[in-house]
Chains A and B, each alone.
Chain A
Amino acid sequence: MPFRRSEAGPREWIDRHRTVHFTFEGTRYVAFAGDTITSALQANGVQLLGRSFKYHRPRGALSMANHDVNALFTTADDTNVRGDVTPVTDALDVRPVNVSGSLARDAHRHLDRLGRFLPAGFYYKAFHKPRWLFPYWERLIRRRAGLGTVDSAWTPRRRPKRYGYCDVLVVGGGPAGLQAALGAAEASLDVLLVDENPHLGGSLDYEWVTDPAAPAQRDELMEAVAASPAIRVLTSAVALGFYTDHWVPVSTPEGIIKVRARGVVLATGVIEQPAVFRNNDLPGVLMASAAQRLLHRFGVQACERAVLQVNNPEGFAAAEDLRRGGVELQAVVASGPGVQKADAAALVDAGVPVHFGWAIVEAHGDGAVAAATIAPVDAGGVPDQTHARRIDCDGVVSSAGWGPAGHLLYQAGGRFSYDDTLEMPVPVAWPDTVVPAGRMNGVFSLASQRDDGRDAAGRLAAALAGGPVSDPMSNRDTRAHATPWPVVPHPKGRDFVDLDEDLQYKDLIQGAREGFDNVELLKRFTTVGMGPSQGKHSNLNAFRILARYLGQGMDETGTTTARPMYHPVRLEDLAGRRMRPWRETPVQAWHGEHGGFLMESGEWERPSFYGEEADAQQVIASEVTAVRTGVGIIDVSTLGKIEVLGPDAATLLDGSYTMRQGNLRAGLTRYALRTDDTGVIVDDGVVGRLAEDHYYLTATSSHAEGTYQTLTRHALEWGLDVHVVNRTGQLGALNLTGPLSRRVLEPLVDVDLSEAALPRLGMTDARVCGEWARLLRVGFVGELGYEIHAPAGTMARIWDALMDAGAPLGIRPFGVDTQRVLRLEKGHIIVGQDTDGLTNPFEAAMPWAVHLKKPWFVGRPALAHLKGAEQRKLVRFVMAADSSAPLPRESHLVIRDGTIAGRVTSIARSPTLGRPIGLAMVDRDLAEAGQALAIRGDGGRMLAAEVVTETFYDPDGLRQNADAPEVTP
């Protein structure tokens, strides 16, 4: 059983003077500040830490490095908490995940006995028949699958992200990383050094602790780094992935820092790989680096009597480490090219039984390891049972080999190749500015790791200075640090390759045999490497198994893609601060204060009408009537507004719009339509001319930015001498409209508003309330009206002045929905509502807007062919006045002979005409005056409509005469 040693070690992370109290499964325990959940439980002798995903087998500490999720917990605040690396805090209440009841008495633990019915991929093949039972299985499996439960009442605590910058980012604070950081600082580079652990040191703090040469080197490195002003250090900081141009998100407890570096050193180290034998997942079976982490960082001795499997020099060093720490080594089995008899000398001298050419065949125990069977094995992992021996123990420690933590290097475009000497993949190609160093680079001795870090920093500095980059020194070791075959397959199975996913050796063989014999297919069929550890402890062994099955080399077998994030990241961290821009008009506050019913319109919120939502129809109708009989005012500040200035202004607009703009007289405006290369309507607006070289145009709110981008691009593309200025947000705009509008406005302006001075469709600069403004006479709603554009800073004052001046005349503010009815009464289209992604101007019944006389404009080549070829047409229609039936809605279909013959695009009850009116896009032969239309409304009810050709209201435009007697002041 594990326990806490009373004697403090030299490199402990725990503070033995500060105790922490926490509970696990309702039992209170004591730990030290600095303990993680796993180390705290182990210190208290708790070995059973979890139940596996599928079979609910008992599990304990395996890697102590977040390379497996045997120790996964839930707390009050969080679930799927990784016990290996999550600090214990006072009053923390820890519970297991994936259990029903307690860990010891998990109600699902019998699933282990049903294991043979639940091999890899069983869910692809079972439960199809009987089909009617499938929903039951689906619900059952969904409940059983997954680990922690989500608290749906969770309140997110967003952690804002921020940007960070450096010349060199060093990932990994072990010996190679520390040395690389120093090397880069010496080259006058600004360094950011990050390490996922709470302390720098890496392997110096668990593997090299008792090495006599190490402490002095460690002190030297740590002091130099701390003293260097050019090196910033972040601990508990995980480099999550590598993105283009050295963009590395680093996850810290306070949130993600998106680091932009000029160069990166990856000193990310290696990940220990487990030995595969029967019951290698029992609590008490762990890897040597885990035992050393427990011992040196947390003062926890993993067991009292251990059996060790050693396949590399690190294993022998760890064995000696544990032995001197007080662990009784019952037996050491060592095999493979990584083993040299000389390495075992200290053990042999100490009287430890060492068996060369042997391996662990099976671990035994009920809920925790109690014994291990060892035997001689051949190169295929086949044991010689005649010499097998069963040894009592309470711990099994393995040191089978290492895989590189090469994820970020892969993502940066680096390539790895399997090194037959080292028996692990090593980098063989990488960009000059993303350099590997240390054990990830196949460099193992402490001195060599420092050399490698120094060399990497030097080459990186040269690359950043733009100079030639020398070839890398080879600091790699020349002997194996792993066994190529750490597998002893057992006929009865339970020899786990991926402990996250409960995958045994035979599951991988079965997958390959079924034809999923390619790494990508094998991964997806068996789910190897798809668990929370993402293959950290399982991928390399899986590739070894597949390679051997196929009889091919490791490089030929390949690897799966290493994708960000390196460790899982909370959604709270990825979401960061909420940044959803919204915009306000200069009159925004007024609308809210005066009963405006606001609706979202892109980034804006605009009043739909002024009144209660329940009264919408009546309010809109009364606003329409107010505009038609009196005067109304609407805030149209969201309109796109663009100033076009310069000698080639006319050419720019002639080329960008379908209508001629070059012959527009100064002081007038003209409707402006834009299409794309296929002749499809993109946007509309109004173009006005103030002088030969000075135009001012409007665009719809949602296309303002797009219009600006299109015009500026055309200016460049056509080599024009012109300035295009986007004034959309800088100017506000309002529309004052109705027969009484001239009377309201006249006293406030300094220009003559007679029909002669400012004719229909005219435009002029003026002073309104003493401030510069621009007046446009536009006819969108069909009454005498003035659109007033003024700087955002003066707009509110002008609005208030007009409301005051209009009060005696009953001025009414009106909203967007009212405006939609008003323009519909004039038969005016709204781009995007009455037109769709394929509508051209001919279909939209606007052939007059296409001036094919111009030799060229955007869309002309297509429009020349589309003219007259339209298969459908936009028509106006009316419905019976007295109908109490509900109206059809936009997009309801026009039906003829049982098939679709069109659809409604706009519809409203017209207060002015006293009947419903609308626009519909219909088959061409239905576009005749008097044609009856059958529209299918809600519930399939057919409603009758009739096509009319004349515009519904004031077809001759008489209402817009500024000199008419009833409108003149």
Chain B
Amino acid sequence: MGLFDIFRKKKTEENSEQSKDTVEARANQDNSAEFEIPDNIQETEEKHDQNVAEESAPDDVSEETATQELPKSVAPEIVEQQIYTKGLEKSRTGFAARFNKFLANFRSVDEDFFEELEETLVGADVGFDMAIKISDDLREEVKLENAHRPEDVRDVIIKKMVDMYEADGVNEDATMHFNVNGTTVILLVGVNGVGKTTTIGKLSTKYQQQGKSVLLAAADTFRAGATKQLQEWGVRAGVPVVSGKEKADPASVVFEAVTKARDEHYDILFVDTAGRLQNNVNLMQELEKMKRIIKREIPGAPHEVLLVLDATTGQNALQQAKLFKNSSDVTGIVLTKMDGTAKGGIVFAIRNDMHLPVKWVGFGEKASDLREFKPEEFIYGMFKDLMA
């Protein structure tokens, strides 16, 4: 069963849980559709309404069957789903509105159509190469499947994206790796202002609550106040912080922290590094040095190198992923600030290009707003309103 089918299944599952929400969401969607469709395409609109009317009947049936079928164990999964659904609300409405608008304007499959499609996809930050690839693939597909009605084209496009997303994600390991005997070292890297320190604060709270002993290393000695910021998180989470003097060599802080974590048998050591632009060669070398020291003191470490990416970043995110991967063997990605209007389409591009698994997603300012990344929930959250 492909992801595409999972959507359909999930839709019914969800209806049983939050039928009210869905009705509301749908109502909203209808409003937005009405709002955006120009007068001259009334026909499509009518069709749209019809569709909705038709659907409501089968929905009712599925609601009953679903409630009967659903065992209690599904509950936590649904909670997770709700968080994603809510967190991606803005992303989704932006994407869906744009996509629906695009389909509403759709008259025939011609060159303009593909140009519009490219713009729509690029507009969602799915990545330039991927947008072109999808539109190229679609040219073939549309011919083959003889898709002419908007719904058909929509289905083909979504199926295409889901398939690509799925295929690219094969063999990706999105779980966190831990050192079974001894200290696990987790290094966080990224450009300036993406939320490295905040992410560490959230992660350490999380692991602390799980009963792990956590140590933080404030290796951002460059930015004014960075150490204080981490210390503040340390106080909030109740975990100790190793810090050095201002403008000290970050590697010295790392060394101190690693030996302390090893000798005092901490379960997890988080290393916070200064933000650096990926094209700054000297700073990237500084990062390599820190990594060397960690490895020297604890063989096999760092067990995770997490690249923190701001979800509002555009195509440059790919460049960041590439260069950070080269210099510090990134093992996974933390996508922050997804609660904004960011389309998060960059997740597609990163999967497609870099084959780096996204491990965490940040949906807000609270420690609990940092969630493990669930690829299926994510794509479902993105396309939810598009699936009729």
Instruction: Tell me whether A and B are bound partners.
Output: no
User: Which residues from chain A sit less than 8 Å from chain B, CB to CB?
Assistant: none
